[in-house]
Chain A
Amino acid sequence: MAARLDVRKTYKLYVGGKFPRSESGRSYEVTDAKGRFVANAAKASRKDARDAVLAARAAFAGWSGATAYNRGQVLYRVAEVMEGRHAQFAEEVARAEGLTAAKARAVVDAAIDRWVWYAGWTDKVAQVVGAANPVAGPYFNLSVPEPTGVVAVLAPQASSLLGLVSVVAPVVAGGSTCVVLASERRPLPAVVLGEVLATSDVPGGVVNLLTGVTAETAPWLASHEDVDALDLAGAAPLPGEDPTVDWGALEAAAAATLTRVVRPAGSGASGEADGAVEPDWTVLPDGPRRVLAFMETKTVWHPKGR
């Protein structure tokens, strides 16, 4: 009997809870770690990025208004659904990153556990960083963290799944919504993650995933007036390669509307620009700093009296 011809998947964008192709009609060739053709991914355009920001903004009121307990359960649900697709993720990660099957499985384990870790943070951050302030007067004075709004995320280029989850989970844990540029050369695990998000009670528009050329799309997001914060993790190039993205220029573009910027990791002195490096995402985060990076502090005053 002849071997069965497998049914291949069309890898598309994930925007507003739906899976559109790029409005531009463009795609680009994605290869595995050895350079062999795997699939054509959608090559997102400026218009796709703007549509994604609209979707993220539309989803913000509902997601930020949900209780922290509810958000925690939704994030935990993502981990549950990922677990069911463990083998599929391992295969995608192995192909994209050139890992052995065992190593790819370990990466997927860590990515699932990272969702669980951040799921637990949703209803803790306000207690950990909030404050009842002892002002010198007869006032009730309380500070609480609130989500920043719409966050544009440049996902890490090397760590296509664990790195991606490590930057997306904290944004949504805090109640913000996001537009994510997946790893340019390793985008397929992100598309599969979109399929998981679509089926795990995450409201459409809370996470929007774009594949394509980072240097082409990132400037539109950095300068977008309705983007409140920008995570430049993915400005770091693949190991051994030259950067394709000038993170300083993106930060400068973000300055036009005082967009909050999380710089890529790097080790330069204060006063000089330096290269961005991708951190080791297998290391457990040292606290909720990535959650807090996308939260604002609101302070409420009220007089006390009889």
Chain B
Amino acid sequence: MPTFEYAPAPESRAVVDLQPSYGLFIGGEFVDPVDGTSMKTVNPATEEVLSEVAVGGAADVDRAVKAARRAYERTWSRMPAAERGKYLFRIARILQERGRELAVLESLDNGKPIRESRDVDVPLAAAHFFYHAGWADKLAWAGLHGAALGPDGVPLPLGVAGQVIPWNFPLLMLAWKVAPALATGNTVVLKPAETTPLTALLFADICRQADLPPGVVNIVTGAGATGAALVGHPDVDKVAFTGSTAVGREIARTVAGSRKKLTLELGGKAANIVFDDAAIDETVEGIVDGIFFNQGHVCCAGSRLLVQETIAEEVVGRLQQRMSQLRVGDPLDKNTDVGAVNSAEQLQRITDLAAVGDAEGAQRWTAPCPLPENGFWFSPTLFTNVSPAHTIARDEIFGPVLSVMTFRTPSEAVTKANTTPYGLSAGIWTEKGSRILWMADRLRAGVVWANTFNRFDPTSPFGGYKESGYGREGGRHGLAAYVKEA
């Protein structure tokens, strides 16, 4: 096989205009935090400080919730739904117009390859706004069972939504949260992740360009305490969270006993199941996409590979060959396949869990790729000799680490796949249609990808079973999370 050499093909940073520091976006303008603290956000590929952002305290959260409440009562809930929708269409268009700027900024702040931020995150974020824009004046026909209806028969919004999002898809998660909330008539206070606040702050500028009424979208940057203040604020009607199961539990506990509506999109440990009749080339691509997409920082990543015993050796061999071709490095290089791990903290977690894999007797194989000297990096890694009891088969690693196990029969594959408290996603690779449908019925997971993996669309409901959370995002189902119950 010929080996291709790739010349560097960096995307230009010039398209991004970074401020040295950012305040909080509250009531339509950037304001300084009340208690005046700030934090630095760094480029995980170089450890260069990109900017300083404000850390919102309880008083800032309160100010933001008040601004959202005022906007809800005075503007947003009184506006004709069609006009609300038109604001969302405007936002979708501006997201497209400023797509390259957003993609570069996302890659800078998050470390993900520009190929992914440019071709996946940003287009999908725009698509979410387009999709939900159209729902704004059609909610009466959305089939939202049990919703409280206004005098015109239209499902009623909840009021103020407090939304907390993770660092793995910063802009896309913002879109998943903000678009349905606004379309259904709510106003929002959004807390971006501690390590990836920049695209949310650029989104604030997009709201300005769209002339979105002040207070409809408020962005309060900060860390865990900021999120906790938002979730626990008594004047928040709805809490939406994407992140770890541990934090999700805390939020569910905080909200317990109140009348706040809650949706949680939490961790996962997806089984990607390969049968001996699978189309092998597509399958290997699917496995790679399943676990190495976005450095494995994906809640629905196919982190447990279950291969039918008869082809295990062949699949692992081909996988190693394919992994050896992955280009790890500069996120802004258009040829990069795997970018930087998002933070030093996450790199430590991945490193520690991989070490536990060694200690418990699994066999580690690491892709032979050179890594940059600065920044946070972890080579694509595969473990064989893994048993379902191993830590690396049970805990979410949230990094480019694949645990390989084998099975003999479809029933055994189902049992092994379901032996986890998580239930977010699963993959099936086989050419036999009846087996796909039989498996899909039995896998306890919210999303099942058959002969594909990691596909997302605003029309397609996403969310988990069991400890992967509750509620759905996307599609008709996702709207239910943002309307009042009768």
Chain A interfacial positions (CB closer than 8 Å to B) = 128-129, 131, 133-137, 139, 141, 143, 148, 228, 246-249, 251-252, 254-258, 260-261, 263, 266, 268-274, 286-289, 292, 296-303
Contact = CB atoms under 8 A, between A and B. Distances in A.
Given A143-B477, A247-B257, A287-B145, A255 B252 contact: yes
Given A255-B249, A258-B266, A273-B257, 8 more contacts: A129-B143, A228-B466, A256-B253, A257-B421, A269-B259, A271-B236, A296-B446, A297-B461
Nearest to B463: A297
A35 to B, nearest CB: 33
Nearest to A270: B237
B440 interface: yes
Contacts of B145: 128-129, 287-289, 292
A193 to B, nearest CB: 26
B143 A271 contact: no
Nearest to B145: A287
Interface stretch (B24-32, B70-78, B112-120, B448-456): B448-456
B460 interface: yes
B167 interface: no
A270 B259 contact: yes
A297 B470 contact: no
Contacts of B449: 300-301
Interface string B212-230: 0000000000000000000
A83 B158 CA distance: 42
Interface of B: 127, 143, 145-146, 158-159, 233-238, 245, 248-249, 252-253, 256-261, 264, 266, 421, 436, 440, 445-452, 455, 457, 459-463, 465-470, 472, 475-477, 485-486
Given A129-B143, A273-B258, A299 B245 contact: no
Contact of A143 (B127, B258, B461): B461
A139 B451 CA distance: 10
Contacts of B445: 298
Given A248-B257, A252-B253, A270-B237, A297 B472 contact: yes
B466 A266 contact: no
Given A258-B470, A296-B465, A299-B461, A271 B253 contact: no
A87 B469 CA distance: 45
Contacts of A270: 158-159, 234-238, 258-261
A218 B248 CA distance: 23
A279 to B, nearest CB: 11
A93 B133 CA distance: 52
Closest 8 CB pairs of A and B: A248-B257, A271-B234, A289-B146, A255-B252, A251-B256, A135-B457, A252-B256, A270-B237
Contact of B259 (A261, A272, A303): A272
A145 B160 CA distance: 29
B257 A252 contact: yes
Given A228-B466, A271-B233, A301-B447, A133 B461 contact: yes
Most chain A Cβ neighbours within 10 Å, of B258, B452, B462, B469: B258
7 contacts: A135-B457, A143-B461, A258-B469, A273-B257, A289-B146, A301-B450, A301-B460
Nearest to B453: A301
A135 B391 CA distance: 36
Given A128-B143, A251-B257, A258 B457 contact: no
Nearest to B477: A297
Given A302-B452, A303-B451, A255 B256 contact: yes
A249 B460 contact: no
B452 to A, nearest CB: 5
